[in-house]
Structure 1
Amino acid sequence: MRFDPKTVREEKNDHFEKAWNETKKYIKKAPLEEEYPRLQLGFGKPHPVYDTIQRLREAYMRMGFIEMMNPLIVDEKDVHKQFGEEALAVLDRCFYLAGLPRPNVGISDERIRMIRDILPGTDDDGIEKIRKVLHMYKKGTIEGDDLVFELSEQLGVEDALVVDVIDKVFPEFKELKPEGTTKTLRSHMTSGWFISLSELLERNEPPFSLFSIDRCFRREQQEDASRLMTYYSASCVIMDENVTIDHGKAVAEGILSQFGFQKFMFKPDTKRSKYYAPDTQIEVYAYHPKLDGGNTKYKDGWIEVATFGIYSPCALSEYNIPMPVMNLGLGVERLAMIVHDAKDMRSMSYPQFSQYGDWEMSDSNLARQVKLVKMPATDAGREIADAIVDGCKKYGKTPSPCEFEIWSGQLNGKKVTVRLVEPEPDTNLCGPAAFNEIVAYNGDILGIPNDKKWQKALENHSARTEITFIGAFAAEAAAEAEEAVLSGQSEHETRARMIKMLSEVNLKLTDLGQRYITGTKKKIDVRGPMFTTVQFKIEDE
C-alpha cells in the first residue's frame, strides 16, 4: 500500500488543530495568581548517592576499566567456596530469599457446591477447567500472577468473581507461608566477581580490567548514621598474570584523586578476609582538605575510604580461575558523605524520611509557601486592586483626615466608586507598615520594610515573595467588592488595622509551609501598623 507523505502530514496537522480547538472550549480563565505566576527557572538536582555513582563510573572509565553487571542473587554454596571457614559468619549477615509454595489444591464435592454458589451455571466441564488450571499452577506452568486471569479466561467470568472463589473456596492460598531457599542477596560485590570472572574465562582472553557499581545487602543489627542495610559498592578487579598490590595503590590514587583527595596512606587491614591472600589486604586512607578542620573524627583530614587486596589462590581455584586478581572496593555512600558534606548516611540517602535528620527547606522554597487567600476574579476587580496599591503609593503619607477617589467604573454591571479614606486626625492615610514585604529569612517568615536594617534579608531575591501588605490587602478588597456587587449591596468597606498574623492581611501559609515552621520551631513575624481603609460606593447605571 502506497501513500503520499505530504497528505499524511496535512491530515495529521488538521487533526491536531481540531483537537486543540475542542480543548480550548474547556479551558477556564485562571485566577490572578495562576495567570501571572512568578517566573521560576532552574535545573534538576541529582541525588547525592547517584551523583557520586555517576562520577565514579566516569572516573573508572577514564582509567580504562570496562563496566560490568554482577549477579545480585548468590547461592550460599558460592559464599562457602569464597569465604571458606568464614562463610557462616558472612551468611549470618546475608538476607536469604524465600518464596510461597505452590499448594496442591483438591476439589471436593463440598467445594464444587461452593463454586456453583458463587458462579451459578458452572457445569462439570467448568469444574474440570478449574481443576486443570490449578494443576498447571502447581506444576509451575502458570505463574501466580496469571492464575486469576487464566481462570477468568477459561470460565468466561469477571476477575472479581474468580478472586471471590479463591478467597472463599480455597483457604490453602491464604494459609501459605514463605519457605526459605539457599539463595541470598549479595552482601559483598566479591561474591559476584568470582562468578563473573569464571564465566568470562570461558569466552574471553585475559587480562581484564572491570568495574561494577551496584547494590549490596547486609543484615545489620541496626542502621545508624554510618551504616545501612542496603548500600552501593564501587568495586573493580584487574585479572593479570603480573598484578600486584601496587596496582591496587595506583587504582586507589587514580580514582580518589578525581574527587579531590590529595595524599594517601596504605595500611594492612587487620580484618584479613579469607578471600584475600595473606598480607595483601590493604586499607586506603586518603587526605581531603575539606575534612581538615581539627575534626578528630577524620584525624585532621584523613579518612579510610577503600580496601583492596589480591584474591586468594584457594578461592580462585574453586572457580577454575588460573591467575591473580586484584580487587578494590569502596562504599559509595561514605564517599558521597564527603563530597556532599553530609553528616548522616540515612538522611543523605533518604531525605524524605523525617526520622533520619533535621528538615531543611531553603528560604526560596519557603517563600513559595505564602499564598493569597482572596483574589479578584474579573478584569475590573484587578484594576481596582492595582488602583488601591497605586493610590496608597501616591497618597499614603498624606496627613489625615483625608479622602481620595482612586477608581470609578463598571464592575459586574454596576457603577462602582472606590475611595481611600482616613477619618481619624493626626495620622496618615496609610500606616507605616503598608508596604512591608513578606520574605523568608533564615527559615522564618517575616513582614519587613525595605530599609538598611533588613538589607541582608532583601538581598536574596528568590526568597522575596513580592507580596506587600498593601498588595495582599488590595486583592482582598477588590474581591470583596466583587462579592458586594453580586449580593446587591450599595456600599462596602474593607479595613486593615494593626497586623499581627498572615490572615489579617489576606495571606496564608500552605500546609507544607506550616508543618515546616512548626516542626523546626521557626517563627512567623508579620507585625506592623497598616491602618488602611477602602470604601466602595455601588450604584445602578
Structure 2
Amino acid sequence: MKFNAEEWLERARKDFESAWLDSEIILSERPLSERYPLRGYEEGKAHPVFDTIQKLREAYLRLGFSEVINPLIVDEVHVRKQFSKEALAVLDRCYYLAGLPRPNVGISEERIRKIEKITEKNFDPDELRKILHIYKKGKIDGDDLSAEIARVLGVEDQIALKVIDEVFPEFKTLMPEPTTLTLRSHMTTGWFITLSKLSGKYPLPVKLFSIDRCFRREQSEDPTRLYTYFSASCVIMAEDVSVDDGKAVAEALLRHFGFEKFRFRKDDKRSKYYIPGTQTEVFAYHPHLENNRKYADGWIEIATFGIYSPTALAEYDIEYPVMNLGLGVERLAMVLHDYSDVREMVYGFKHIELSDLDIARKIKLKDIPLTPKGIEIASRIIQTFEENATAQGPCEFTAYRGKLFEKDVEIFVFERENAKLCGPAYANEIVVHDGNIYGIPKNEKFRNLFDEGVSTGIRYVDSFAYCAVRRIEEMVAEGRESGEVRSRVVENLSDINLKLEEGLMNYLISRGKSVDVRGPLFLGVGFRLL
C-alpha cells in the first residue's frame, strides 16, 4: 500500500486530541499547569475608579450606613427649590434631556399607490392609519413600529422598513424637543427627593450613602474635570446632627484608605443648600504623598460636608437636620493610584498592567509533538541531554528505539564537532522579571531574578526537544529514512521554539521592556529507520 503522508498526519492528530490539551502541559517534568492556575482562570484587573468605589462601599457599610440609589433624572424644579436664586447658575451646568416627537402621519392616495408598488400587494389603508394613530398616542413603541406595519401590510420587516424610509419622510426630519428633565449634576439633588420620602416614616437617625454618577456640562474635559464623574455621598438625618458628625464620618471613612491626619477648613464657596458657616473642606494626610510634587507635604483636599439649610429642607417637608458629606471618587482614586490626569485614569489603560505571572502565562510553545508517543520521546531526549551534557564530541547517544507511526526508528542526540554535547545555554530557563523576559541559567549570579520574578519552568533544552520531535514525526510521516534537527546560537524566542501571545510584544515595547534570550545552544537530534 502506498504511504500517504497527509493521511498519517491526520490520523496522528486525531489520536493525539484526547491526550494533548494545551501547549502549557509538562516541560521537563515541571508543568506550568501545576505551578500556576490554568490560563483563563487568572484574576482580571479592576479599574481604579471601580476599585475605589468598592472600597468606599465597604467603608460606608462598616460605619453603619445603608446603601440607596438616588434619582438620576430630575426635573429642573428640584434645582430651583434647592438653590433658590442660584438655580440658574447651577442649571447652566446641567444637561437637559430631549426626546423625538411622535409625528402626525397622513396616508394620501399617492402614498397608498407607492406602498402598493413597494409591497406588490393590496392592503387596508384604514388598518395602517390605525397603527400610525396609536403610535402617535404612544401606545406603540418606536422599536415595534416597523413590525406592526409589516403585520398590517402582510410583508417582511425589511419591506416595512423600506416603506417607512421611502413613503413617510416625516420620520427622517424629526428633531429632538427639550424637556424640563435634567441629568443630576449634584448628588444633593437626589438626596432631597429621597429624604422627603423617608422623613417621619423611619426611626432616627437615618444613615444613608450612595455612590453613583453625576453629570456636569463643563466647557471641556481637562486633567481635573470630566463631563461625568462619580460622587460618593452620605447623609445623616437626626434631631441633633452637627458639624462634629461630619468630621467624625470624614475621619472614619478616610482612615479606611490609609489617611492618618485630618484638617478641616471653612469652605468659601458657601452653597445655598448648606447652613452658612457649616460647609467644611476636609484635608487629609497620606504618608505616600510626602514626596509627591503634586501635593504639599502629603496633604490634599479630599471631601466636603455641611448641614443642609432648613429653608431648602422645608421645600420637601423634611423636619429634621441633615448632615451631608461628599467626595469625588475620581479624585480619591487619582491619589491612591498616583495619576495626575483624570482622563488618563478613567479612559486610559495604564491600570491594565500585566504582572510577571501574566506575562509568563503568555509565553507558549510554537511546535509540539503530534502524538502521545512524541511526548514520551521528547522526555527521553531531554533526559539523554541532561545525563550526557558534558560529553566531549564527536559523540552520539540513543534516546529512543522503538515504533513511531508503525515504523521502527532510532532517535539519538549527537555532536559532530570537537565540543561538548550541549552548548553552554542548554539549561537556560525562561524567567519574567519586572516585565522583562530573560533566558538565563539558574545559578547564584541570577538568583535574584528567579527569587523576585516568575520562572516559566521552560528551559531551552525542553522547548527544543519538543520542536525536534515534531520535525522528526513530520519527516517519518513523509517517508524519509533519516534526518536531523539542529540548533545553534539563540537570538530570539522563535530560535528555541517559543512564541508570545498576540499583542504581547507590542505591550512590552510600549512599556520599555525587553526580551533577552541570547545564548549558544548547539544541540542536535537525529533519527534513522531501522
Structure 2 length-normalised TM = 0.88
Contact 2:48-2:351 at 8 Å conserved across structures: no
Specify which of 410, 429, 434 is matched with residue 417 of structure 1.
410
CA, structure 1 residues 450+254, in 2 after alignment: closer, same or farther (shift >3 Å)? closer
Matching of residue 33 in structure 1 with residue 30 in structure 2: no
For residues 209-220 of structure 1, the aligned pairs below 5 Å read: 209-220=207-218
- CA–CA separation in structure 2 for the residues paired with 1:412 and 1:460: 45
Name the stretch that deviates more: 27-36 or 247-256: 27-36
Which runs of 5 or more structure 1 residues have no equivalent in the other structure?
Answer: 1-24
Q: Deviations over 1:311-330 (max 9, x none)?
A: 22332233233343221111
Q: Deviations over 1:317-368 (max 9, x none)?
A: 3323334322111122323344455555444444xx34xx486321111122
Structure 1 length-normalised TM = 0.86
Contact 1:100-1:178 at 8 Å conserved across structures: yes
Specify which of 242, 261, 264 is matched with residue 262 of structure 2.
264
* Percent of aligned positions that are identical: 54
Q: Which residue of 2 aligns with 1:454?
A: 446
Specify which of 350, 367, 371 is matched with residue 378 of structure 1.
371
Matching of residue 134 in structure 1 with residue 132 in structure 2: yes
Query: What amino acid is aligned across from residue 420 of structure 1 in structure 2?
Result: V
Matching of residue 305 in structure 1 with residue 302 in structure 2: yes
Name the stretch that deviates more: 60-69 or 89-98: 60-69
CA, structure 1 residues 229+531, in 2 after alignment: closer, same or farther (shift >3 Å)? same
Name the stretch that deviates more: 399-408 or 101-110: 101-110
Q: Which residue of 2 aligns with 1:403?
A: 396
CA, structure 1 residues 208+482, in 2 after alignment: closer, same or farther (shift >3 Å)? same
Name the stretch that deviates more: 200-209 or 52-61: 200-209
Q: Deviations over 1:62-91 (max 9, x none)?
A: 333333221101112221221223222222
For residues 285-364 of structure 1, the aligned pairs below 5 Å read: 285-291=283-289, 293-350=290-347, 353-354=348-349, 357=350, 360-364=353-357
- CA–CA separation in structure 1 for the residues paired with 2:163 and 2:205: 60
SS class of match (1:397): coil
Specify which of 520, 526, 529 is matched with residue 529 of structure 1.
520
Q: Which residue of 2 aligns with 1:475?
A: 466
Once the two structures are TM-superposed, the CA of residue 156 in structure 1 deviates from its matched residue by 4.4
SS class of match (1:284): strand
Q: Which residue of 1 aligns with 2:67?
A: 67
Once the two structures are TM-superposed, the CA of residue 204 in structure 1 deviates from its matched residue by 4.6
Query: What amino acid is aligned across from residue 497 of structure 1 in structure 2?
Result: R
Query: What amino acid is aligned across from residue 242 of structure 2 in structure 1?
Result: T
Count residues in correspondence. 506
- CA–CA separation in structure 2 for the residues paired with 1:406 and 1:65: 70
Q: Which residue of 2 aligns with 1:508?
A: 499
- If asked which structure has higher relative contact order (CA below 8 Å, sep 6+), I would say 2
Contact 1:359-1:516 at 8 Å conserved across structures: no
Matching of residue 221 in structure 1 with residue 219 in structure 2: yes
Q: Deviations over 1:487-512 (max 9, x none)?
A: 11111211111111112221111212
- CA–CA separation in structure 2 for the residues paired with 1:134 and 1:52: 50
For residues 5-404 of structure 1, the aligned pairs below 5 Å read: 29-31=19-21, 33=23, 38-39=33-34, 40-41=36-37, 46-123=46-123, 125=124, 127-201=125-199, 203-204=201-202, 207-291=205-289, 293-350=290-347, 353-354=348-349, 357=350, 360-404=353-397
Query: What amino acid is aligned across from residue 502 of structure 1 in structure 2?
Result: L
Query: What amino acid is aligned across from residue 492 of structure 1 in structure 2?
Result: G
CA, structure 1 residues 252+359, in 2 after alignment: closer, same or farther (shift >3 Å)? closer
- CA–CA separation in structure 1 for the residues paired with 2:93 and 2:205: 33
Contact 1:420-1:535 at 8 Å conserved across structures: yes
Q: Kindly report the root-mean-square deviation, in angstroms, between the aligned alpha carbons of the 2 structures.
A: 2.6
Q: Deviations over 1:141-180 (max 9, x none)?
A: 1111222333344444332332232233333323333332
CA, structure 1 residues 432+440, in 2 after alignment: closer, same or farther (shift >3 Å)? same
